[in-house]
A and B are shown apart, each in its own frame.
Chain A
């Protein structure tokens, strides 16, 4: 067969595969239509410009957070009657209004609230909510409680819709040590799990310039019509840029001026510190996901002797978020970042005989930063009209998440949540 025939075959084939495989992928590839000639420009096209993009940081509180002792209805007699041991009395809470106050160990979060940077949505849950840790976590993470066999998460489906096959983009990262949470699982996309910023830089001893030159060296060989070779090349080029940017952010982070978040007493603070570095690195990540409380059943599951453990967790949460925003403030990035916390369920109003609480239903969600409209959203659920001992929800959790997806991140909510969930007015213009 002559070279000419190979050329024309390759052309036809590449165009065909381009249309089948790369819709929404590289526009170079789509519009080429001629034998593909990789060029240096194509290699440098990379991670999305992100300097004006919004970022969502999800903190999963594993185990079922007792939001009644996080945001305390201190003025409600029913609360005090139900919790003779665990209750926080009026003088011990950080008062928000004449009914609610934050747990006394959350001074840092209270300060953020006072600064007008925290929104708390009360009474969040879903119909027929599950009280099994695994099941309830499944419901929250898939965003599809009605589909017990759902295999993908609400974030994963957004990534599948908007980012699959965009090999040069890194839209989401999980920071933590547990297996990848279901929320991030998609069918077509993969979210990396990162524990240290060093995971995202070029390993020492690998010469970036050499790799760059490899990427532009194809010498008229077979690879010229190979979309897979090109995809490896594009993702590697983007990887090099990623590594450079993260390295630069790290260098700055550890510059003599002193590292922020020096207080690494808290694992969550360390993780949020890493996230702040990655936001600073400007690598185009839109969604960060991390956890406090680990794997099922989780640190928030306090059926006995709740007080000490829960206090420490709340302090870690509060101090870590505050440290995170101090760091973002320093770099004027706070306006671009929203933190949201969630747990698989709230807990029962009534404390049990072992100085703990049991699995409940509705909870309060905390949103911090960005342009959140500060304040308390929704009525506090009644403490007399309960759902098997837990609070009744009035706001579906998917309304909150859909608001974040659509109004904060700017993605359509369809792929994430099936059904019509009214959006909330959580953001300033």
Chain B
């Protein structure tokens, strides 16, 4: 592919249809159009850029062969493959469960994070890990706060087990897990002193979303949970500490216990809106959607609370493949590092990676609060960009903590014949050729300055070129 042609096949993308309609003061995408399944069209064709987008959002980025296959087979086949459980998954996960909890492996939060990262990189079903990570943002338990790494490993495996099933089950299972209760400071729920903080966390973080619940409701939930304790890292119910009196919640009245609250809360429309909104942000965009845009999904989720079905609707949609979603999210540190690692088709020491991620602001074993990571703008500050560049430099360096990575070798394996060809390949892999003409020109000039005569030159040039690509703002958008 000649350099000048890079991006030529993207021309169509620029005029992707929004199905927009005039709505008072501004334009809003039409919800009917938005959630209808995407079919490639002249105005919104299936391109390398869209394939890259799909792999970034549903998983942790693509390898070159995956992008190529996806281009060949089209969006439907690719979506079907990415969203459905592959053969051998159960064996893979069972093997990882065993390895990651064998003697000594689950004894420190760092090791558990390292095992999880390895799973993210090697799993045949990255979508499941992406959803597990989503629920980890949602329930946001911390190995550090719970002070029990092994239990934390169990929590992650529960998240994985229920990540794509029914929300009712997920919520019930997680809210009686000791790590979640310990992380939320809910290890004691005494009759004489109902745990209001837990009532608030439960309603505002896990179910209804912020600023919905009345303070009376928070109090009633706290009362319903009285009697539940975490003792020696086990959840115990002590009947004598439970307050069996009548409670008023969501317009109903009764001697509600925790189980009744779970049943009541999952049928609240606010819960459906909150979960749909969070998943929208996870998969579609950091921009806040309007209520009317979400309405069809909220209705669908309200009927069956089927997480897998909801996400499938979202990511198969016109909206997902439109410019309202494309590069409208800031990459998390996990997105950034795993994307490059997958693209380089390499194994890396994930213990080192887990530590690096903590420096970059995403310590997987320790979300900052029970509200998870703030995402979006919160990933960005002046030091974060320096840290990200430092990481990329270390990753592509010939010596150092990731020294096995050789981008020239990977490019060659994927068909690049010379140095310039390898650079072009790299732009296609990492940015799917979607960058401004000016940036392209600058990169080209950089490339031409680099000696590429010998194999050693090419290897060194590719390393430098790769780091330069990560300096582009576009690279930091998911």
Instruction: Tell me if B269 counts as interface (CB < 8 A to partner A).
Output: no
User: B287: which A residues are within 8 A, CB to CB?
Assistant: 13, 17, 21, 227
Q: In the bound complex, do residue B20 and residue A5 qualify as a contact, i.e. CB atoms below 8 Å apart?
A: yes
Q: In the bound complex, do residue B327 and residue A228 qualify as a contact, i.e. CB atoms below 8 Å apart?
A: yes
Q: In the bound complex, do residue A217 and residue B436 qualify as a contact, i.e. CB atoms below 8 Å apart?
A: yes
Q: How far is the CA of A211 from the CA of B385 in the complex (A)?
A: 11
Instruction: Tell me if A77 counts as interface (CB < 8 A to partner B).
Output: no
Contact of B330 among A202, A218, A228 (CB under 8 A): A228
Q: In the bound complex, do residue A185 and residue B368 qualify as a contact, i.e. CB atoms below 8 Å apart?
A: yes
Q: In the bound complex, do residue A190 and residue B361 qualify as a contact, i.e. CB atoms below 8 Å apart?
A: yes
Instruction: Tell me if B43 counts as interface (CB < 8 A to partner A).
Output: yes
Contact of A203 among B15, B185, B390, B442 (CB under 8 A): B390
Q: In the bound complex, do residue B382 and residue A165 qualify as a contact, i.e. CB atoms below 8 Å apart?
A: no
Interface-located stretch among A144-152, A303-311, A341-349, A387-395: A144-152
Tell me the nearest residue of chain A to B393, going by C-beta. Answer: A203
Q: In the bound complex, do residue A164 and residue B377 qualify as a contact, i.e. CB atoms below 8 Å apart?
A: yes
Q: Mark A224-240, 1 if CB is under 8 A from B, else 0.
A: 00111101111110110
Q: In the bound complex, do residue A242 and residue B382 qualify as a contact, i.e. CB atoms below 8 Å apart?
A: yes
Interface-located stretch among A50-58, A192-200, A327-335: A192-200
Q: In the bound complex, do residue A203 and residue B382 qualify as a contact, i.e. CB atoms below 8 Å apart?
A: no
Contact of B288 among A20, A173, A214 (CB under 8 A): A20
Interface-located stretch among B75-83, B193-201, B245-253, B403-411: B193-201
Contact of A222 among B323, B371, B386, B387 (CB under 8 A): B323
Instruction: Tell me if A86 counts as interface (CB < 8 A to partner B).
Output: no
Instruction: Tell me if A162 counts as interface (CB < 8 A to partner B).
Output: no
Q: How far is the CA of A377 from the CA of B156 in the complex (A)?
A: 50
Instruction: Tell me if B476 counts as interface (CB < 8 A to partner A).
Output: yes
Q: In the bound complex, do residue B369 and residue A151 qualify as a contact, i.e. CB atoms below 8 Å apart?
A: yes
User: A16: which B residues are within 8 A, CB to CB?
Assistant: 26
Instruction: Tell me if A255 counts as interface (CB < 8 A to partner B).
Output: no
Q: In the bound complex, do residue B15 and residue A190 qualify as a contact, i.e. CB atoms below 8 Å apart?
A: no
User: A242: which B residues are within 8 A, CB to CB?
Assistant: 382-383, 386
Q: In the bound complex, do residue A190 and residue B390 qualify as a contact, i.e. CB atoms below 8 Å apart?
A: no
Q: How far is the CA of A222 from the CA of B53 in the complex (A)?
A: 15
Given known A15-B26, A205-B464, contact A239–B329 (CB-CB < 8 A):
no
User: B328: which A residues are within 8 A, CB to CB?
Assistant: 226, 228
Instruction: Tell me if B240 counts as interface (CB < 8 A to partner A).
Output: no
CB neighbors of A among B254-276 (8 A): none
Given known A149-B197, A187-B368, contact A13–B27 (CB-CB < 8 A):
yes
Tell me the nearest residue of chain A to B442, going by C-beta. Answer: A213
Q: How far is the CA of A164 from the CA of B379 in the complex (A)?
A: 11
Category for how many chain B residues contact A:
35 or more
Q: In the bound complex, do residue B442 and residue A214 qualify as a contact, i.e. CB atoms below 8 Å apart?
A: yes
Contact of B386 among A25, A201, A234 (CB under 8 A): A201
Q: In the bound complex, do residue A235 and residue B380 qualify as a contact, i.e. CB atoms below 8 Å apart?
A: yes
Instruction: Tell me if B129 counts as interface (CB < 8 A to partner A).
Output: no
Q: How far is the CA of A206 from the CA of B470 in the complex (A)?
A: 10
Contact of B359 among A17, A149, A189, A193 (CB under 8 A): A193
Q: In the bound complex, do residue B383 and residue A170 qualify as a contact, i.e. CB atoms below 8 Å apart?
A: yes
Instruction: Tell me if A40 counts as interface (CB < 8 A to partner B).
Output: no
User: B371: which A residues are within 8 A, CB to CB?
Assistant: 151, 187
Instruction: Tell me if B389 counts as interface (CB < 8 A to partner A).
Output: yes
Give the shortest distance, in Å, between A251 (CB) and chain B (any CB): 17
Q: Mark B1-32, 1 if CB is under 8 A from A, else 0.
A: 00000000000001101101000011100000
Q: Mark A157-171, 1 if CB is under 8 A from B, else 0.
A: 000000011011110
Instruction: Tell me if A241 counts as interface (CB < 8 A to partner B).
Output: yes
Instruction: Tell me if B477 counts as interface (CB < 8 A to partner A).
Output: yes
Given known A20-B288, A229-B473, contact A217–B381 (CB-CB < 8 A):
no
Q: In the bound complex, do residue B43 and residue A228 qualify as a contact, i.e. CB atoms below 8 Å apart?
A: no
Instruction: Tell me if B286 counts as interface (CB < 8 A to partner A).
Output: yes
Q: How far is the CA of A375 from the CA of B357 in the complex (A)?
A: 45
Q: How far is the CA of A222 from the CA of B468 in the complex (A)?
A: 21
Instruction: Tell me if A63 counts as interface (CB < 8 A to partner B).
Output: no
Q: In the bound complex, do residue B380 and residue A205 qualify as a contact, i.e. CB atoms below 8 Å apart?
A: no
Q: In the bound complex, do residue A187 and residue B327 qualify as a contact, i.e. CB atoms below 8 Å apart?
A: no
Q: In the bound complex, do residue B369 and residue A185 qualify as a contact, i.e. CB atoms below 8 Å apart?
A: yes
Instruction: Tell me if A32 counts as interface (CB < 8 A to partner B).
Output: no
CB neighbors of A among B174-216 (8 A): 184-186, 195, 197-198, 201
Instruction: Tell me if B105 counts as interface (CB < 8 A to partner A).
Output: no
Contact of B436 among A173, A201, A221 (CB under 8 A): A221
Q: In the bound complex, do residue B387 and residue A199 qualify as a contact, i.e. CB atoms below 8 Å apart?
A: yes
Instruction: Tell me if A6 counts as interface (CB < 8 A to partner B).
Output: yes
Q: In the bound complex, do residue A229 and residue B384 qualify as a contact, i.e. CB atoms below 8 Å apart?
A: no
User: A151: which B residues are within 8 A, CB to CB?
Assistant: 185, 368-371
Q: How far is the CA of A170 from the CA of B361 in the complex (A)?
A: 14
User: A9: which B residues are within 8 A, CB to CB?
Assistant: 18, 20, 27
Q: In the bound complex, do residue A21 and residue B377 qualify as a contact, i.e. CB atoms below 8 Å apart?
A: yes
User: A6: which B residues are within 8 A, CB to CB?
Assistant: 15, 18
User: B288: which A residues are within 8 A, CB to CB?
Assistant: 17, 20-21
Instruction: Tell me if B438 counts as interface (CB < 8 A to partner A).
Output: yes
Instruction: Tell me if B310 counts as interface (CB < 8 A to partner A).
Output: no
CB neighbors of A among B362-405 (8 A): 363, 366, 368-371, 374, 376-387, 389-390, 393-394
Instruction: Tell me if B418 counts as interface (CB < 8 A to partner A).
Output: no
Given known A210-B442, A218-B436, A223-B473, contact A149–B386 (CB-CB < 8 A):
no
Please report B residues at the A interface, Cβ cutoff 8 Å. 14-15, 17-18, 20, 25-27, 43, 144, 184-186, 195, 197-198, 201, 286-288, 323-324, 326-330, 358-359, 361, 363, 366, 368-371, 374, 376-387, 389-390, 393-394, 435-439, 442, 446, 464, 467-468, 471-474, 476-477
| Residue contacts A-B, CB under 8 angstroms, 24 given | A1-B43, A167-B381, A170-B381, A173-B383, A179-B144, A185-B368, A186-B368, A192-B361, A192-B384, A192-B387, A194-B383, A203-B389, A203-B394, A203-B467, A214-B473, A217-B436, A217-B439, A220-B436, A222-B323, A223-B436, A226-B328, A232-B330, A239-B384, A242-B386
The 8 closest A-B pairs by CB, nearest first: A149-B185, A149-B197, A219-B436, A12-B26, A239-B385, A217-B438, A151-B369, A238-B382
| Apart from A147-B197, A223-B436: 16 A-B pairs, beta carbons within 8 A | A5-B20, A6-B15, A6-B18, A148-B197, A151-B369, A190-B381, A202-B389, A203-B386, A211-B471, A214-B439, A219-B437, A219-B439, A222-B323, A235-B384, A235-B385, A283-B382
